[in-house]
């Protein structure tokens, strides 16, 4: 596990959240009517063209769609344009052995942690081999506890792929985090976790659960229909999220939709 310092002032730590790009090994790859390389490019271009600048990016999985090593190479090329350290975790569509190898070197940090001012950011692997639903193993939960215990930071942001809460959508809840309740209880028990961000469900979510912000950012490609009990996509555009982590533990976020043809 890698650890680093990205920011050391009292200004808010600014985090760019991107998720579920579903890239292919070839740039023309289409997923449910969207060229995923082009839609991610639009998102990155929108960030670069705006005035808001992040200190760090987090990427919460489903980096690739076609099981191709070349898709991770495309990921490296596109994300290099951000000129940011990128803390990434795998999703159920990732091949962990390929991802760990392809995204282990800077600017990428795989399932790693970093301290910035009063905040500790930790990437958690929530994937379970061979299935779409997730599970945070005892080992991974122990690693999280150890990283928190070893840090002077007073506030913690956790990044994972699967939602630790119900989405109110039968088909998505069937592929959620199998031990979400237990994991959330573990987060609460630390007394320091203020924020958990996830992907996987390709739709926005932003709720406070017993003092912990639980936040999802829609995909950089196709979105799923909110509240649907069966699989359904909708026509919301690609998106990213701007997150500000204040030194006193407050969290502010702004969801940004990116028009894409």
Nearer to Fe ion, 65 or 116 (CB): 65
**Least Å from the CB of residue 133 to Fe ion:** 13
Nearer to Fe ion, 20 or 125 (CB): 20
Asked if residue 125 binds Fe ion (CB under 5 A), the reply is no
Q: Which of 34, 54, 59, 62 binds Fe ion (CB under 5 A)?
A: 62
142 — phi, psi (to 5°)? -65, -40
Give all strands of the β-sheet with 119-123 in edge-to-edge order: 3-5, 113-116, 119-123, 155-159, 193-198, 212-216, 205-209
Q: Choose the stretch contacting Fe ion; rule: CB under 5 A; options: 16-24, 38-46, 126-134, 136-144.
A: 16-24
- ∠ CA 126-128-130, rounded to 5°: 145
| Cα–Cα distance for residue pair 11/14, rounded to 1 Å | 9
Nearer to Fe ion, 62 or 125 (CB): 62
**Least Å from the CB of residue 87 to Fe ion:** 18
Nearer to Fe ion, 186 or 222 (CB): 222
| Cα–Cα distance for residue pair 125/206, rounded to 1 Å | 21
3-state secondary structure 139-160: HHHHHHHHHHHHCCCCEEEEEC
| Cα–Cα distance for residue pair 140/136, rounded to 1 Å | 6
Asked if residue 94 binds Fe ion (CB under 5 A), the reply is no
> Which residue, judged by CB position, is nearest to Fe ion in the bound state?
62
> Are 228 and 171 a contacting pair, CB within 8 Å?
yes
**Least Å from the CB of residue 90 to Fe ion:** 11
Burial label, 69 (beta-carbon count in 10 A; 0-12, 13-18, 19+): middle
Q: Choose the stretch contacting Fe ion; rule: CB under 5 A; options: 9-17, 59-67, 70-78, 155-163.
A: 59-67
**Least Å from the CB of residue 20 to Fe ion:** 4
Two tokens, residue 170: 């039968």
Nearer to Fe ion, 154 or 228 (CB): 228
Q: Which of 20, 74, 94, 125 binds Fe ion (CB under 5 A)?
A: 20
Two tokens, residue 230: 């069966």
Nearer to Fe ion, 13 or 102 (CB): 102
Q: Choose the stretch contacting Fe ion; rule: CB under 5 A; options: 13-21, 178-186, 209-217, 228-236.
A: 13-21
Nearer to Fe ion, 23 or 156 (CB): 23
> Are 95 and 71 a contacting pair, CB within 8 Å?
no
Q: Which residues bind Fe ion (CB under 5 A)?
A: 20, 62
């Amino acid at each position: 596990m890698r650890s680093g310092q990205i920011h050391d002032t009292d200004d808010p730590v600014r985090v760019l959240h991107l998720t579920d790009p579903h890239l292919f090994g070839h740039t023309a790859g289409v997923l449910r009517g969207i060229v995923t390389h082009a839609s991610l490019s639009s998102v990155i271009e929108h960030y670069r063209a705006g005035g808001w600048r992040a200190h760090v990016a987090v990427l919460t999985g489903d980096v690739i769609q076609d099981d191709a090593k070349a898709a991770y190479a495309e990921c490296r090329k596109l994300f290099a344009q951000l000129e940011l350290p990128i803390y990434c975790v795998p999703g159920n569509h990732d091949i962990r052995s390929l991802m760990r190898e392809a995204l282990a070197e800077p600017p990428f940090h795989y399932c790693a942690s970093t301290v910035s001012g009063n905040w500790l950011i930790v990437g958690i692997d929530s994937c379970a081999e061979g299935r779409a639903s997730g599970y945070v193993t005892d080992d991974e939960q122990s690693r999280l506890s150890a990283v928190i215990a070893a840090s002077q930071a007073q506030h913690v942001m956790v990044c994972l792929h699967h939602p630790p809460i119900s989405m109110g959508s039968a088909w998505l809840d069937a592929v959620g985090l199998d031990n979400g309740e237990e994991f959330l209880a573990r987060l609460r028990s630390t007394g320091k976790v203020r924020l958990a961000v996830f992907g996987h469900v390709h739709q926005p979510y932003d709720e406070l659960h017993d003092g912990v912000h639980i936040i999802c950012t829609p995909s950089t490609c196709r979105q799923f229909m909110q509240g649907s009990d069966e699989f359904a996509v909708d026509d919301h555009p690609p998106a990213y999220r701007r997150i500000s982590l204040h030194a006193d533990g407050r969290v502010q976020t702004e969801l940004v939709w990116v028009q894409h043809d």
